[in-house]
Structure formats: structure tokens, C-alpha cells
Chains A and B, each alone.
Chain A
């Protein structure tokens, strides 16, 4: 296999002084380097957001705890939520898109390399602004610092009267900057997928990852922008004396809720669709079977994208909408379970009868399937308006969406890390540390988030900084906190694995998993120009065709 592929050893790796290398990284427009920059930045923010989560959990460990003050607690959950969504999940997924999409469609770079670099630095600036609020949000004058309005920042909490100083402004500007960065990258991904495919790669032959990122980017265009618009309105309110969300002048704080969730709900699907993409690439390889139901997968994704834009108000059933509005949003929310269910059955269908290899990436995929299913089930529960009236704003909701984001998105991301790390670095990640990471994380995850449903059912509201003893919440909260620390240890094992494997890991070679998409046809790490000659493909699995000329896929498609 490897003899079939042109590699130019040493073409990329030349020892240069560190100043030159740093300069190269800062000014790079190479999609692979920008992808790595995205991912590494996101990992730094993951650690920051994780520390904030641990502070929250220590504070809630037992009743009447005073580890942090109520004000600091508010800042911690605001920063935790904002960081994890906008500066961990988004950049890490864009990072993988940057790295993988051009390689998978046989292109030498993204369609607009400089726009790509611009978008990355804009997102990084957003993250910097958010964290600078610890100093700049009047923190130096003791007037409070980081934003404390919650990650959805409902009006009128963000009004000047209730949020003095600059903390809310840093929050707004951070989200505006990262939002514009996301739009730039989304445009770039769309242009890359539509305009730079190698000869023979028709839309119907694209790897599912490229397809799903195309859909995800389309969603970014339509759904990140309402948030940007709402942020502009908020700035008008705060700086020009506008009244968009000012109830005293007749404005409607409810309007902010709608604008926020018009963004907020599709955002969940913007995050999960790339994870579906990872599943659709990894599960077939470790089941040794092509993906089951390729066209249906694409159709289901497009379906999810459409429906997800008409479900936003299920986040705000408790504000008192008309029964028609409630019924509409309940039904659309139920409807979205159908294409999602189709996907889960397709992945199961892919594994059915396959020779499944339980390597670490596959373990995380299996964890994803199981946990994402449960997250979907609690989602259906919360999607029923009457049930939601009981449990909205309780820990049941917190447990539900962490099941989606940690149990679904983070597990899929870990699978992607273990799967593509050999391509990115040229070395395998340690299987032993990987299995340790997996089991620790599974145990910690379930200890935290399975148990978290129960205090929610018992009536524990979210965002409270402490609680009275004797409500039956103490032991449960202690277990949740212990689980959080087990997850933190698992993350440390993961980071250790990343670092150790970079220096000590086995050489990966071009194609360690015996996979079928184009990125595995070139050396690991890929040369700067990706493909010495642009490949030509005739089926969905070009490397299968290459390895099995006697029985190529192109004969059947």
C-alpha cells in the first residue's frame, strides 16, 4: 500500500530556530496548521471551563458550603457555559473541519486560506476578550469582573442598571467576535466542499464527514447570525440608550429569549452534526463494513437541520405562550426524534454483522451511541410542555443537556482524537492509556450525570449557589461532585496520552486503521501540499478500490 503513495520524507521537517517556527505558526494560512491551532486553543479553553465546572461542583458538594461567594458562583456558571459552547465546542469542531475536509475531498487547502486564518484569529480574540473580563470588567476597581448573567444572558439582567461595569460588554463582544469568525469559517467550508472536490468526487461520493460539515456550515450561516444581531441590539441598548429589551420603555425581554433560542437550539445541532460525522467515519472502519444507508444519512441530516430551526421555543415553555404555540413546538420537537432515530439505526445497521474491533476510537463511539440515545429520551421528556413546566430550570435540565454535550459531543470528540491523532502527528496514541481514559471517563460521567437527574426530579433548581440541608440533596450532590473529579482525572490521563504519544508513540504509517477515505492515502503527518498529484476517485471508498482492485466499490455504485 505504502509503495503506491508518493511521500517526500523530510520535505516538511527541517530544524529551524524556534523564533522562525513560532512566526510560521502565527502567520500560517495552511488549513492543517490552522486546524491544529483551533484544536489546541479549544483544549486550553476546555481546561479553563473544566476548572470552572469543578469550582461549581465543590461549592455544591454539601449544603451551606461557602467555598465561593454567590457572586463568584454566578460568574463561574456563566463563564463555564459560555466557554464550553463558544470557545471549546465550536473551535474544536471547526478545527477538525479545517484539518479533515480538504484532505477528505482531495483538495490542497481550503477555498480561502487567508479568510481561514482571519476567522481563527477572530475566534481566538473572542476567547481572549471573554477571559480579559476578569481584569477589564472593572475587576481592578473591585466592581465585579467576569460576566455573571448566565450563558443565555436574559434581559433585563444585561441592562446597565443590573449589570454595571463592563463585564456584560466583554461577554457581548466576545460572542460577536467568535460569531463572525464562525460565519467566516462556515462560508469557507461551504466553498471548499462545493468548489474544490477532486475529479470524480461527485456530491454522492463525498465522505459523510464532508456532507455533514456542509449542512452544519449552512446552519451556522442562518443561526449564528440571529445571535450576532441580538448582540448588536444589546450593545445599542447598553451604549446608545436604546430600548430593545427595556421593559420600562415598552420593550420586551421575551424578545431576547426568542432571539437567543432561535440561535440557541440550532446551535446544539451545529455541535452534534459534526459528531454524527465522526461517527459515520469511524464506526464503518472499526466494523469493517461500509456505512449503512448513505443517502438516508444525508437526507436525515438535512431533515434535522430544517426541523431544528423550528423548535427553539421548547426552551421557554414556562414563559407562558399560547396553547397553539406550545403544541407547535412540542410537535416539531417530537418530529426531530425521527431523523435522529434513523441515524442511530443506521449506525447500528453498520455494525450489524460486521467484524467489530474494540479499539479506543470505537469504544468512544459505542459510548456515544448509548449516551446520546438516553440524552434523546430525556429530551423527548422535556419536549412535552406539561412535563417541562414541572422540570424547566431544574437540575433535570442540566443533566439532560450535559448528557448531550458531554455524553454525546465530548465522547464523539474523543473518538475523533484517537482516530485522527495518528494522521495529525504521525504517531499512535497509547491504547492502554486510552482504555484507562475511556473507562475512567465513562464511570465519572455516569456517576455525575445519571445521578444529576434525581435532585432535579426532587426539585433542585439550577444556578443556586447553595441549598438547605435535609432536602435529600446532600448525598446526591456529593456523588455528583465525586464523579466530576473522576472525569477531571480522566481528562488528565487524556492530556498525558496526547503529550506522551507525541514523543513516544508508535509510528503510525500512512494508514494505521486500514481505512478508506483519502486522508489515509498520504503520509502522516501530511505534507504541506497534501496531495503530490490530485487524486481521482470513482466511489465513496477510494482507498478500498485501491486496495482491492479485483473488487472495487465503483463496480456497484
Chain B
């Protein structure tokens, strides 16, 4: 209809562009990575520079079980998205709820660790440089887990209400990208705080 198109040769037969949800989530992940990088740099820079105790070596214990929980939730969410793509909603819901449980377990583990540090060792965010950098780095990650859990819960509620089907699988896949990112960040935080930092 438009004369606009007339002088042009013709529209290309195949014209496919990337999915905007995935591109945007990739952008968000890049931005978030930069934020985490700065906090990791601060943590490494201040290692061993606290003027008073306690030190990481004295008080930290490696949270192996909760780490396994969080990392395996990446597998369950991957499986959930795969199931939704094949329109198997019950299987999707099951593995989705499992993901939420594993994420919540991890948060519980962080809470328990903090409780122990605060009440047994008297380490708070204002105690020394270790406290400041530890709570802000681990706390920033825990905040991201919480935000992710919130979004996962919303999807779970919609699923229970019967509103999620195969047509939502692309959006759910975008959300799962975020969850994978949160897990990947934990690998870095775990390495820095519990392996290198002790």
C-alpha cells in the first residue's frame, strides 16, 4: 500500500532478529556483573587489612550443603523450562517449586550463618573491614536470590492459577537466565570468600 516500499528492491525473505527479552536480560546481567565485580574487588582489596578481629580464618565455615542446594537449583530450573517448552505443565510446576525450595534453603543457610557470626562471634557490618565487605558482598548476593525467589514465586502462583502454558515458555526462559546468573555469581562469591579469602 505504501509507496514507501515501491522503489526498494524487495523485503528480504528471511528477516529474523534476536528475542528482545533475552537481549535485555543479557544487558541486565552485564550491568549486574559490573556491580558484583566492584564488591568483589573491594572484598579482595581489604583482605587481611582489618585492624581488629575476627578474621575470616577464625570464623567462616564453608557452607557446602547450601552451595549444593543453590547450584542444583540451576539444573531444576533448566529442566522446568524444558518441560514447559514441551507443554508439560505439571512437570514444569514440580521442578519450578523444587527450584524455589532449593533457593529458599540456600537463603536459610545464609541466615543461619549470619546468625552464628553475629551472636557467637560478634561480627557485624560495623565490626571491622572484614565484616563490612563480607556482609555487603554476601548480602548483595542474598538480595539477588531474594529478588529472584520473588519472581519465581509469582510465576508459581500464575501456574497454580492455570495461567502458564507453552506460550509463556520464552518469558520463563528469560527469568531462568537471571536465576542461572545468580547461581554463577555464587560460584564467584564462594571462591572469593570461602576459598581464596581464608
A residues adjacent to B (C-beta < 8 A): 3-6, 111-112, 183, 186-188, 190-192, 194-197, 199-200, 217-218, 221-226, 228-230, 232-233, 236-237, 240-244, 249-252, 255, 259, 262, 521, 531-533, 535-538, 542, 545-546, 549, 552, 554
Contacts and interface: CB of A to CB of B under 8 A. Distances in A.
Q: Which secondary structure dominates where chain A touches chain B? A: helix
A224 B28 CA distance: 12
Contacts of B93: none
A90 B8 CA distance: 37
Contacts of B64: none
B17 interface: yes
Given A243-B128, A255-B45, A549-B7, A183 B24 contact: no
B27 A252 contact: no
Given A233-B136, A533-B4, A535-B4, A228 B35 contact: yes
B35 A243 contact: no
Given A194-B18, A195-B19, A226-B38, A236 B136 contact: yes
Interface stretch (B46-54, B80-88, B154-162): B46-54
Interface string B1-45: 111110111111001011110011001101110110111001001
Nearest to A230: B38
Interface in B88-133: 125-126, 128-129, 132-133
B11 A241 contact: no
Contacts of A4: 3-4
B125 A200 contact: no
A60 B18 CA distance: 55
Contacts, number: 151
Nearest to B124: A241
Contact of A255 (B3, B42, B51): B42
A533 B1 contact: yes
Given A200-B12, A241-B125, A255-B42, A225 B34 contact: yes
> Nearest 10 CB-CB pairs, A to B?
A241-B126, A229-B38, A225-B34, A187-B27, A195-B20, A242-B132, A533-B2, A221-B31, A4-B3, A111-B20
Nearest to B2: A533
Contacts of B45: 252, 255
A199 B11 CA distance: 6
A552 B6 CA distance: 13
Contacts of B9: 538, 554
A302 to B, nearest CB: 15
A554 to B, nearest CB: 6
Given A190-B24, A241-B126, A533 B5 contact: yes
Contacts of B51: 249-250
Contacts of B7: 545-546, 549, 552
A273 B84 CA distance: 43
Nearest to A226: B38
A276 B112 CA distance: 53
Contacts of A183: 28, 31
A243 B12 contact: no
A190 B46 contact: no
Contacts of B19: 195
* Residue from A3, A243, A549 with most neighbouring chain B CB atoms (10 Å): A243
Most chain A beta-carbon contacts within 10 A, residue among B5, B129, B132? B132
